[in-house]
Amino acid sequence: MKRTIALSLGLAMSLLAGTACAADKLTLQLKWVTQGQFAGYYVAKDKGFYEAEGLDVEIKPGGPDVAPPQVIAGGGADVIVDWMPSALATREKGVPLVNIAQPFKRSGMMLTCRKETGITKPEDFKGKTLGVWFGGNEYPFLSWMNHLGIKTDGGPEGVTVLKQGFNVDPLIQKQADCISTMTYNEYWQVIDAGIPEDQLVVFKYEDQGVATLEDGLYVLEKSLDDPAMVDKLARFVKASMQGWNYARENPDEAAEIVLDNDASGAQTEKHQKRMVGEINKLTEGSDGKLDVAAAERTVETLMSGGSDPVITKKPEGAWTTKVMDAVK
């Protein structure tokens, strides 16, 4: 009897201890499928950085049919990865997204054109067909065209916008003169498809002065009203940045970790190693803190759309230091 009581007490104490030490759950919704673009988060989970901060993080991959703002608005995630143009446009439409951290310091977006089209400068876009991603990714492009004074409704003085799928087929098949690419992904797909670099002309948004912030971490405003949630988010950001730092120091290992988490089996080792290497150029020097000047430039770019701006007024409360200030 005494032995039974002792065992029961021991089991109860173990259960209580387990409850006390239970990790805080948190769900992260990615902007796109599992790939090197999100290496820092997968590394943080794989290397135990989240666990060390008392977190149990679920990483949900995105895809062509997944809109992170809709996921978080519907309660399907605590944090999302999104581009600031998309987040600000969504915020103006009523979903109160707030940037809590900015792992990416630089933009990887660009237009890639066939040299044979004769395009050598942005002004040459007039009369051409340009491939553009939608679903929130079109905002930087539309702002750029407005900045150039080029209409997007076709005609000899405007451009014809081809709604581009998430592939490079329009350029390969010559359906478009230029297509949207990222420095770390689609550009290399063009190269791998057999078009050499010397037959391409690229226009980086960063070089054109119209770059907008990409791949920030966003939450709903109400999350910031809960001190316990702010603490949880601070631990999440801390561990995530450890993951990004590790990915820069160990790019090949980071790529392998990404591949291990790719349930689709669609990614290749060559592509992911190259992607992580390019992504590291965009996160280099970042400590997770948002550069307010860069955010304000993003706002100015989005508002410079003439009669059709991406956002119509400067946002209030669209970013905060509350979480970063709580990082220990």
Which CATH number does the domain 109-204 belong to among 3.40.190.10, 2.20.28.120, 3.40.50.1220, 3.40.50.880? 3.40.190.10
Helix (H, G, I), strand (E, B) or coil at 173: coil
Instruction: Tell me the HSE value of 72 on the side-chain side, using a 13 A CA sphere.
Output: 28
pLDDT of residue 4: 41
Q: Which structure tokens are listed for 241? A: 């940045």
Residue ranges of the chain with per-residue pLDDT less than 50? 1-20
Instruction: Specify the pTM.
Output: 0.88
Cα gap 59→41, rounded to integer Å: 8
May I ask the CATH class of domain 22-105+213-325? alpha beta
pLDDT one-digit tens code per residue, 194-219:
999 999 999 999 999 889 999 999 99
Task: Give backbone dihedrals phi and psi of 27, rounded to 5 degrees, phi first.
Answer: -115, 125
Domain limits of the chain?
22-105+213-325, 109-204
pLDDT one-digit tens code per residue, 252-303:
999 999 999 999 998 999 999 999 999 999 999 999 999 999 999 999 888 8
pLDDT of residue 17: 47
DSSP 115-166: GGGT--SGGGGTT-EEEE--TTTTHHHHHHHHHHT-BSS-STTB-EEEE--S
Distance of CA 248 to the CA centre of its chain: 17
